[in-house]
Structure 1
Amino acid sequence: MSASPSGNTLLLKRQLQELRKHPVDGFSAGLKDESNLYEWEIMIIGPNDTLYEGGFLRAELIFPPEYPLLPPKMKFLTKMWHPNIYDDGTVCISILHAPGADQYGYEDAGERWMPVHSVESILLSVISLLSSDKPNTDSPANVDAAKQVREDFPGYKKKVRRLVRESAEEAY
């Protein structure tokens, strides 16, 4: 890292300090390595009254050098089964898509990444995604999970609950 911190490292440092001073219910965030502001460890506590209740969902946020002009990438390290989360754990939500028009026409430019978004707004969006009673299957990242939501919702719920139980066991 260069001797003089750039604007984005100052912004990331400020967001981290803010989250440490005023933790938000439902998640914790910290650096993977204190010398690198671009890689964060995230722990999301499964929201109450959802399929994820009782889960300890580990994830990472990787910020590009162009942050906040471009969004970070978020990836679950905990095994997830959700239409909007790729098999490798990468989260696919509008707020994490680069600014501009959606070439497929699913998203409004206003739903996509904007530099005003913060780590907190990203994580609250992800928690909201996990809290949804019925996941969005319109443009799925995980086609098999979306298919199961549509064709076998009880089976989908059972699989999610099993993964959540495993995440809680790993945490202890």
Structure 2
Amino acid sequence: MTMSRRLAMELEEVRRWGGVRDLHLVDRDVLRWRGLLLPNNPPYNAGAFRFELAFSPHYPLVPPRVTLLTSIHHPGVGPDGTVCQPLTSPESWEPVTCATHVLQDLLLLLDNPGTERVLRPELARELSERPEAFLHQAEEHTRRYAEPRPDTPGP
């Protein structure tokens, strides 16, 4: 199976999955996808978070890169939108892993902020030492920066 055929099939699979909305190609490029991720749990479930999934021309041998384009107060997401996602690290990547798994893992990270997958140690420390303050800050940040959640279910 060619890479572009596999990506086309994976794009349709992700569209059927309920965790994202508004999934589309960037500039008609099958190697760049954007969409809205819909967290299930507080403090992030009050909004939707735009992401980009960028695939290498060597996919599936090389993992895709996930970037969160919407600002989020989360220990596992860097200020620049990089995501602490061991699943897509070159050392852990398996070519059988598909885009849906990558996005499900991202959703799991957002739904369960913790101190294991950390890019912002100061937020992990705040979550650990002052969880109520962390949740309040994350809630306020979500209200301020996240996009509105779409009301209609996905296709």
Instruction: Give the TM-score category using the shorter length.
Output: 0.7 to 0.9
Moved more, 159-168 or 67-76: 159-168
Q: Extract unaligned runs of 5+ from structure 1.
A: 1-5, 100-111
1:120 aligned onto 2:95: no
Structure 1 residues 23-102: aligned runs within 5 Å: 23-28=16-21, 29-34=23-28, 36-47=29-40, 49-99=41-91
Q: Extract unaligned runs of 5+ from structure 2.
A: 151-155
Structure with larger Rg: 1
* 1:169 Cα deviation from its structure 2 partner: 5.2
Moved more, 10-19 or 152-161: 10-19
Asked whether the equivalents of residues 25 and 32 of structure 2 are also in contact (C-alpha less than 8 Å), the reply is yes
Asked whether the equivalents of residues 14 and 20 of structure 2 are also in contact (C-alpha less than 8 Å), the reply is no
Q: Distance in 1 between matches of 2:114 and 2:132?
A: 16
Cα distance change, pair 137–148 in 1 and its aligned pair in 2 (3 A): same
* 1:58 Cα deviation from its structure 2 partner: 0.5
Asked whether the equivalents of residues 38 and 149 of structure 2 are also in contact (C-alpha less than 8 Å), the reply is no
Q: Secondary structure at the match of 2:30?
A: coil
Asked whether the equivalents of residues 54 and 168 of structure 1 are also in contact (C-alpha less than 8 Å), the reply is no
Q: Distance in 2 between matches of 1:129 and 1:139?
A: 8
Q: Secondary structure at the match of 1:37?
A: strand
Structure 1 residues 109-148: aligned runs within 5 Å: 112-132=92-112, 135-138=113-116, 140-148=118-126
Q: Distance in 1 between matches of 2:51 and 2:3?
A: 21
Q: Distance in 1 between matches of 2:9 and 2:124?
A: 37
Q: Distance in 2 between matches of 1:122 and 1:87?
A: 20
What is the aligned-residue identity percentage? 27
Q: Distance in 2 between matches of 1:9 and 1:61?
A: 15
* 1:57 Cα deviation from its structure 2 partner: 0.5
Q: Distance in 1 between matches of 2:109 and 2:117?
A: 14
- 1:85-104 superposed Cα distances (whole Å, 9 cap, x missing partner): 111011111111113xxxxx
* 1:144 Cα deviation from its structure 2 partner: 1.6
Asked whether the equivalents of residues 47 and 149 of structure 2 are also in contact (C-alpha less than 8 Å), the reply is no
